[in-house]
Amino acid sequence: MSGLFRKKNSLYLSDNQPLTVVGMIGLVVSYVILLSWVVAILWPLSQMIMSAFNGKQAQYLMSNRNFAFSWKHFQFLFSETLYLRWVLNTLFIAGSTAILTLLIVSFTGFAYSRFRFKGRKASLMAIMLIQTIPAFAGITAYFTMHSIIQNYAPWVTRQLMLILIYSGGGIAGNTFVLKGYIDSISTELDDAARIDGCSNMQVYRLIIMPIAKPMLAIIALWSFIGPFMDYMLPAILLNRPQDYTLASGLFTLMNDFRTMNQPAFAAGGLLTAVPIVALFMVLQKQLVSGLAKGAVKG
Amino acid sequence: MKVSLRNIGKKYEGREEFTLKDINLDIEDKDFCVILGPSGCGKTTLLRMIAGLNSITEGDLLFGEKRMNKVPSKDRDIAMVFQSYALYPHMTVYDNMAFSLAMRKEPKKLIHDRVMEAAEVLQIQEYLYSKPSDISGGQRQRVALGRAMVRKPAVFLMDEPLSNLDAKLREHMRVELVRLHKALGTTSIYVTHDQVEAMTMATKIVLMNEGVIQQAGIPDDFYNRPANIFVARFIGSPTMNIIHGSMDKGKFVAEHKLIKIKPSEADAKKLKDFEGKKVSVGIRPERFDSRGEYGDTFKAIVDTVEMLGKEKILYIKLENGSELVVSAPGHYEFKEGADHSFGFDLEAIHYFDSETGLRIN
């Protein structure tokens, strides 16, 4: 009878077994590790944000307790450097890379998943192998190719070259990912669409692509973020400051004492996150289901 | 529309053997033809060839008088219901049904009318604007049917459309499909591995095994006059009893000598040529007679009794341990382990040539 009158909050509702002493210690250790991880990530970030808005900071970043809110580093960024130009360059390169990658990968992924042709297996294996070689390894080849191409087509700028390298590098791996995703879509849908009157191209456009949207969103995001993160290729390939991407441009505020302005670098880095966050928010709905399914599909 | 298959054969790329060979079949206008067979017998391949989803390696496929071998699926005037329903997940139910007509660039008004008409027949008006993922399996099934109906096709193809439904709903949809078939007045071709669906729905059954048509005809023939041992064993539940033996002085004698049957006069005439040869006898479980009025009887022990309500299934054992299955009305009393005498209904005995498996009488 006493059970009936027991207070509600004394009921043990968890499906897990009650913790033992060892379990308790383990839990504490886990939390300590996780918390230090959080600090390791958030501390530099918070320093960056503080410095970006700290009017008391001069050319070099110093950790001191003086703080005065000001926009002056941002003002410096927009008036004294080519920051806006770099943003546009990066958006152009990242956007073009994403679109080009998406277009080609959607075709190759569809073809590898749905058609049987000679050399299908062999070329898939080749794609797997190519994936393991970093794009940077071909840097000398890129230089040579670029100088040859520019003899015939002077309009192929170094930025265009960069776009081709990025999207070319992305096609291999993403084809694999998308093929796996499309493989999971029943071919009975293709059959039904064919009977309903679709050509191959219409099956691709009206049936498969809309269903593969979550995975396409992830591929778009990955290829878009790539150029934001990469420093090496633009630093080597691009030789004029007005061609620089954000990564290579902002780096000039760090490594060259003539142009050194570390708080401005922090401010620029902070602003860089804006377009990526914006894209992430737009694609959020697609991304969640895409990531979940991608996790199962590998 | 009449569908005719002439010497149709199919060989898949990269395979040594033909999957189907020399398939000859006529499906009359307004027939409900069920293609039946165990898995891997080539029935789905045959349907996909009729649909134009698989190429035809050899032979001719005729719709009416027109040869369809090279005609693309969309121009064959067919509609197909798939096992997985194959509804487009990113479109609403309405768009799913309207899709084929929209692809044909039909006027919006006509599309709307057709979709509404089909929706009314199938009673799916309430969720026309839901996505397929938001509705139940039975409802999806109806949408798949509706999508095929709006086309008003001449030939209606169905690939195991009921296999994903639960037993009750399947029973209900069987009746509804037949009703729909009659109302639409189309030729329907239906693929299944379920003999109950075949027996209840078909006006014509085609039973296939290992890429060969074993028998084609009306359901009644399949049960009462199976063309060979395979058909005899495939149709009917519990399975028909097959007893191997030989003819000896006008009488059938089983291998274990425990069963002897004197054929009826009509059967005796046909069995004349088989004197001394190996013959197999087939008898349906419900055609034994436990009162032994029919002359030749045999003794057996009732081993296990399965009570199904309207009938009892008896697993009986002969002296040498060989087993037979007998079905008796549910209100008869049988004790497990009891001795019983069983006789045969001579009119219901099927004789097969043991060598070829073909029917004799």
Residues 6 or more apart from B133 whose CB is under 8 A from it?
B89
Which residues does chain A have within 8 Å of residue B13's beta carbon, measured at their own beta carbons? 116
* pLDDT in the model for residue A287: 76
pLDDT of residue B293: 59
CB contact under 8 A, A196 and B100: yes
Residue A199, judged by CB atoms within 10 A of its CB (0-12, 13-18, 19+), counts as middle
Instruction: Indicate the residue of B52, B90, B147 with minimum beta-carbon distance to A211.
Output: B90
The reply to whether residue A195 touches residue B53, judged by beta carbons under 8 angstroms, is yes
Segment 146-185 of chain B within 8 Å of chain A by CB? 147
Gap from B115 CA to chain A (nearest CA, Å): 15
Asked which of A131-140, B216-225, B296-305 is least confident by mean pLDDT, the reply is: A131-140
Q: ipTM above 0.85?
A: no
Count of beta carbons in the 10 Å neighbourhood of residue A191: 21
- Give the tens place of pLDDT for each residue, A243-272: 888 888 888 888 877 777 888 888 888 888
Above 70 in pLDDT, residue B68?
yes
Sequence-distant (≥ 6) Cβ neighbours of residue A143 within 8 angstroms: none
pLDDT tens, residue by residue, A65-81? 677 888 888 888 888 88
- The counts of H helices and E strands in chain A are 13, 0
Predicted pLDDT at A8: 59
Residue A94 in this model has a pLDDT that exceeds 90: yes
- Is the per-residue pLDDT at A104 higher than 90? yes
Model confidence at B155, in pLDDT bands (50, 70, 90)? very high
B84 close to A (CB below 8 A): yes
**Per-residue CA distances from A262 to A54, A269, B309 (Å):** 12, 11, 88
Q: A197 vs chain B: nearest CA distance in angstroms?
A: 5
Among A166-180, B92-106, B286-300, name the one with the lowest average pLDDT.
B286-300
Q: Do B51 and A195 touch (CB under 8 A)?
A: yes
B79 interfacial to chain A (CB closer than 8 Å): yes
Collect all residues of chain A within an 8 Å Cβ-Cβ radius of residue B84.
Answer: 186, 188
Interface contact flag, A198 B74, Cβ < 8 Å = yes
Range B177-182, long-range pairs (CB < 8 A, 24+ positions): B177/B145, B177/B201, B178/B32, B180/B121, B180/B145, B180/B149, B181/B32, B181/B156
Picking from B96, B104, B112, B209, the residue whose alpha carbon sits closest to that of residue B148 is: B96
User: Nearest CA of chain B to the CA of A100: how many Å?
Assistant: 25
A269-278, A285-294, B53-62, B80-89, range with the lowest pLDDT: A285-294
Which chain A residue lies closest to B48 (C-alpha atoms)? A191
pLDDT digits (tens, 9 = 90+) for B97-153: 999 999 999 999 999 999 999 998 888 889 899 988 888 888 898 899 999 989 889
User: Phi and psi for A90 in degrees, rounded to 5?
Assistant: -65, -45
Nearest CB among B53, B88, B103 relative to A197 is that of B103
What residues are paired with B229 via a beta bridge? none
Length of chain B: 361
Chain A's closest residue to B148, CA to CA, is A196
CB pairs under 8 A between A and B: 54
> What distance in Å separates residue A147's CA from the closest CA in chain B?
47
Strand ranges across the sheet with B323-329: B288-289, B339-344, B297-307, B311-317, B323-329
Residue of A nearest to B104 (CA): A197
Searching chain A, which residue's CA lies closest to the CA of residue B52? A195
Minimal Cβ distance to A194: which of B53, B83, B104: B53
Shortest CA gap B87–chain A (Å): 7
Residue B350 class from Cβ within 10 Å (0-12 exposed, 13-18 middle, 19+ buried)? buried
Cβ distance A211 to B73 less than 8 Å, yes or no, reads no
Q: Does B257 touch chain A if contact means CB atoms closer than 8 Å? A: no
Which SS3 state, helix, strand or coil, does residue B257 take?
coil
- Closest CB to A207 among B53, B83, B88: B88
What is the DSSP track for B150-161? TT--SEEEEEST
Domain regions of chain A by residue span: 2-73, 75-297
| Partner residue opposite B82 with nearest CB, options A116, A188, A198 | A188
Residue-wise pLDDT tens digits, B163-203: 888 888 888 889 988 988 998 889 999 999 999 999 999 99
* A296: confidence class by pLDDT, cuts 50, 70, 90: very low
B353, B267, B286: which is closest to B326 by C-alpha?
B286
Domains, chain B, in order of start with CATH, read 3-234 (3.40.50.300), 241-353 (2.40.50.140)
Question: In terms of CA atoms, which chain B residue is nearest residue A211?
Answer: B90
**Per-residue pLDDT tens for B290-339?**
665 556 788 889 999 999 989 999 999 988 888 999 998 888 888 888 88
Return the CATH number of the domain spanning residue range A75-297.
1.10.3720.10
Q: Is the model more confident about B85 or about A62?
A: B85
Give pTM, 2 decimals: 0.80
Distance CA A213, CA A209 (A): 6
Quick check: helix, strand or coil at residue B27? Answer: strand
B84/A186 Cβ within 8 A: yes
What is the mean predicted confidence (pLDDT) over B68-82?
Answer: 90
Biggest distance spanned by C-alpha atoms of chain B = 77
Question: Does the distance separating the beta carbons of B84 and A188 come in below 8 Å?
Answer: yes
